[in-house]
Amino acid sequence: MSDKQIPPMEDYLQATDDQPELVDASEDEKQKKDVGQAQKAPIAKRRKQDMQFQQWLEKNQREVLAASREDMGSRLERLEKISVEKLLKGSTERIIASPREYQIDLYERAKNENTIVVLDTGSGKTLIAALLLRRVLEVEIENRASGYMPKTAFFIVEKVALCFQQHAVLTSNLEFPIGKIFGDMKGEIGDPEFWRQQFSENMAFVCTAQTLLSMLGAGFISMSQINLLVFDEAHHTKKNHAYARIMEAYPRWENERPRILGMTASPVDSSKADVRIAAMDLEEMLCSKIATISDEALGGFRDHRDETERTERYEKLEDPQHSKTQLWEAISRCIGSNPQFKAHLGFAKDASSVLGTWCADRYWQLLATNDEMARLEAKTGRDTLELDVFDSDEAMAAVSRTRDIIRDHQFGPIAKDWSDLSSKVKTLHGVLENAFCQRLSKRCIVFVEQRATAFLLTDLFQQPEISIPGMRVAYMIGSNASSANAANMSLKGQVVSLQKFKRGETNCLFATSVAEEGIDVPECDVVIRFDLCVSAIQYIQSKGRARQSSFLYVTMVESNNIYHHRKFQQAKSAAFELQRFCRALPEDRKVEDFDVRPDVLKDCESIITTAAGGGLKLIDSLACLAKWISDQDYSGSITKNKTASKMFSRL
């Protein structure tokens, strides 16, 4: 409410009484009017009071309305400013206190040499990074105390959403000041003073690759001022990707270059037939060596998981040329030549085949909001500035007519026999119904290729004619400035959608590739590929979203579609080749796995002091002991081998 006080109504009425009376010059006229004025005075006074009251009421309403808008605006602004960190706060567990031995061994390897850790999704790659980062920052504190030049560690991610997620994980597990930087920070990111403050307040950063690349290019930091580079989803390091461009600045001499840790479920993110060549290219790009866990450890890890993978086939879809709806035809005739509607027309045409005619028409209904149509009309006006006035006005009028066509169209419910839904959607309904009504699934993710498909399917399964008991749907998609508002989701929207999914407020998430990498939902036990995966990494990453020990992975394939079957088999074959590549790695690139006792874990944080005044944490002491044992000359029943060293290190 505004601080400005609104005068009470009585002040307006009192002001009416205090007004001076008018004096007529003519006495005769005054006498003639005395009787009439005496009769009219109460009426005139009442009219003035009514007028003053009306003025007061209007003024009061205006000020109250303005104050209400101001208050509502401030509330919305405060709501918008709720940070993504707060949304993630409390949902991140402490993981660093419970490492498995293979994680400790991979950490030891990464501490001594540049390493690309290749592990299945959900097997704890981030924990290894947290252990290494903690060690690097502990050494950095000692170096700064000794007067050395300060250095900074960087945990690099590809997407802004992962920047927030990994920052939440690291800050929950490490007691060091860790900042978070991503490209969408407006004008601050180009200010040298901003960076000086950031470097003085933080010892490490989680940032997007493009941000670090910009920092290096602008001279805000150099490789000699970095002590650790962690590449999340390291398989992206190729061609002109920001990861690869960062490595172009990496010095090739040992004494000045930072340690590198790459993390990936698959070192292959290409269509190369030979997995070994792709893996060697990645090693060369990151100046690192690939390391994984042994077959026995990998087998033990997988033995705890009951994987069910199956293919669901749906009947051949109708040709989009024949499935176009009458509404599509009417809109196409009206604005078919407008480039602003080209993508919309293309999607709606394909949707009539892939999703069904009901979904195709529903797309226009969801698209044609006042704001979206005004945006398209404004863009059309800008596109036609170079045309003459008549053509420009006609183009904008066509957009307006399109809005009227959509508004006047009779949108009906889904047909009882579902004849207006595609065979693919019907098959998906069967899979979901089985998952939630028979399998009693906890969480399910349905991966689609396009953003509009995700929000259309979410809308579809909310319709009473097709909804499934116990299934609560939502969607998670990225954003694109050229797309319709309905097909965009802000970073905050993504985080909110994911948190609701984790908490169980929703249990079926329709998602694009934005949810394929780095999204951790332990309760997820069903993953469905509505649209076909086209690469090994997409197959591995989407399959890895299922974190439950017993899970179902479904791939939907069109019957008798040779292309679909070939692409699916290629992705599976490439994934198998990757596993075979990891098994073929030299033994010194593999580590074993043992269960670590709880009492050992409890002492992991303790520092063991020596008589000489030195100190080691238990994790570091295990490596020292193993190295010492491996150097001894044993005889008898104990042999000098890796297994003996491992057994002694456990004692």
Listing DSSP states for 29-58 in one string gives HHHHHHHHHHHHHHHHHHHHHHHHHHHHHH
DSSP states along 70-101: HHHHHHHHHHHTS-HHHHHTTS----TTS--H
Cross-strand pairs, 553: 309, 527
Stated as kind and residue range, the H or E segment containing 509 is strand 508-511
In this prediction, residue 319 carries a pLDDT of: 92
In this prediction, residue 240 carries a pLDDT of: 85
In this prediction, residue 90 carries a pLDDT of: 53
In this prediction, residue 346 carries a pLDDT of: 93
Greater model confidence, 396 or 156:
156
| pLDDT tens-digit readout, 576-590 | 777 676 666 666 665
In this prediction, residue 46 carries a pLDDT of: 63
- Where b means 16+ CB within 10 Å and e means fewer, 446-457 reads bbbbbbbbbbbb
Q: Identify the CA nearest to 478 among candidates 506, 498, 508.
A: 498
Rounded Cα distance, 201 and 122, in Å: 32
Based on the number of CB atoms within 10 Å of its own CB, is 487 exposed (0-12), middle (13-18) or buried (19 or more)? buried
In this prediction, residue 639 carries a pLDDT of: 44
Contact predicate 230/155, CB 8 Å = yes
**What secondary structure, in 3-state letters, does 528-594 show?**
EECCCCCCHHHHHHHHCCCCCCEEEEEEEEECCCHHHHHHHHHHHHHHHHHHHHHHCCCHHHEECCC
| pLDDT tens-digit readout, 146-186 | 999 999 999 999 888 788 888 888 988 888 999 988 875 45
Contact predicate 149/225, CB 8 Å = yes
Rounded Cα distance, 442 and 650, in Å: 38
End-to-end CA, the chain: 71
pLDDT exceeds 70 at position 607: no
- As a whole number, the mean pLDDT across the chain is 75
Greater model confidence, 56 or 325:
325
Residues 6+ apart with CB under 8 A from 165: 88, 518, 519, 520
Rounded Cα distance, 444 and 468, in Å: 13
Neighbours of 293 (CB within 10 A): 27
In this prediction, residue 5 carries a pLDDT of: 47
Q: Which of 54-68, 132-146, 237-251, 489-503 has the highest mean pLDDT?
A: 132-146
DSSP states along 191-239: -HHHHHHHHHH-SEEEEEHHHHHHHHHHTS--GGGEEEEEEETGGG-ST
Confidence tier at 276 by pLDDT (50, 70, 90): confident
CA 225 remoteness from chain centre: 30
Q: Identify the CA nearest to 250 among candidates 284, 218, 203, 279.
A: 284
Rounded Cα distance, 173 and 571, in Å: 36
For helices 357-367 and 326-335, the axis angle rounded to 10 degrees is 40
Contact predicate 607/616, CB 8 Å = yes
Least confident of 254-258, 325-329, 363-367, 397-401: 254-258
Stretch 228-238: mean pLDDT, rounded? 90
Contact predicate 180/207, CB 8 Å = yes
In this prediction, residue 507 carries a pLDDT of: 93
In this prediction, residue 282 carries a pLDDT of: 87
In this prediction, residue 99 carries a pLDDT of: 75
Helices (H), 356-473: 357-367, 370-383, 389-408, 423-433, 451-460
Contact predicate 476/509, CB 8 Å = yes
Q: Which two tokens stand for residue 263?
A: 């993390």
Cross-strand pairs, 259: 228
Q: What are phi and psi of 322, to 5 degrees?
A: -100, -15
SS3 label, residue 364: helix
| pLDDT tens-digit readout, 461-470 | 999 999 999 9
What amino acid is encoded at 107 in this protein? Y
Residues 6+ apart with CB under 8 A from 129: 155, 230, 232, 261, 263
pTM summary value? 0.65
Confidence tier at 473 by pLDDT (50, 70, 90): very high
pLDDT exceeds 80 at position 22: no
CA 347 remoteness from chain centre: 23
Bridge pairing between strands 473-476 and 443-447: unpaired
Contact predicate 252/178, CB 8 Å = no
Contact predicate 525/548, CB 8 Å = yes
In this prediction, residue 9 carries a pLDDT of: 42
What amino acid is encoded at 397 in this protein? A
Domains in the chain and their CATH numbers? 9-81 (no CATH), 101-293 (3.40.50.300), 307-315+422-588 (3.40.50.300), 320-408 (no CATH), 608-650 (no CATH)
Greater model confidence, 647 or 558:
558
Contact predicate 571/533, CB 8 Å = yes
Residues 6+ apart with CB under 8 A from 187: none
Confidence tier at 498 by pLDDT (50, 70, 90): confident
Stretch 404-425: mean pLDDT, rounded? 92
Q: Identify the CA nearest to 564 among candidates 336, 314, 324.
A: 314
Contact predicate 66/2, CB 8 Å = yes
Confidence tier at 216 by pLDDT (50, 70, 90): confident
Q: Which two tokens stand for residue 154?
A: 């960087």
Stretch 377-406: mean pLDDT, rounded? 78
Greater model confidence, 391 or 435:
435
Confidence tier at 597 by pLDDT (50, 70, 90): very low
Residues 6+ apart with CB under 8 A from 467: 461
Based on the number of CB atoms within 10 Å of its own CB, is 491 exposed (0-12), middle (13-18) or buried (19 or more)? middle
In this prediction, residue 94 carries a pLDDT of: 60
Rounded Cα distance, 564 and 568, in Å: 6
Q: Identify the CA nearest to 94 among candidates 166, 174, 203.
A: 174
CA 436 remoteness from chain centre: 25
Q: Identify the CA nearest to 542 among candidates 534, 550, 473, 640.
A: 534
Contact predicate 617/606, CB 8 Å = yes
pLDDT exceeds 70 at position 259: yes
Rounded Cα distance, 249 and 140, in Å: 22
In this prediction, residue 305 carries a pLDDT of: 53
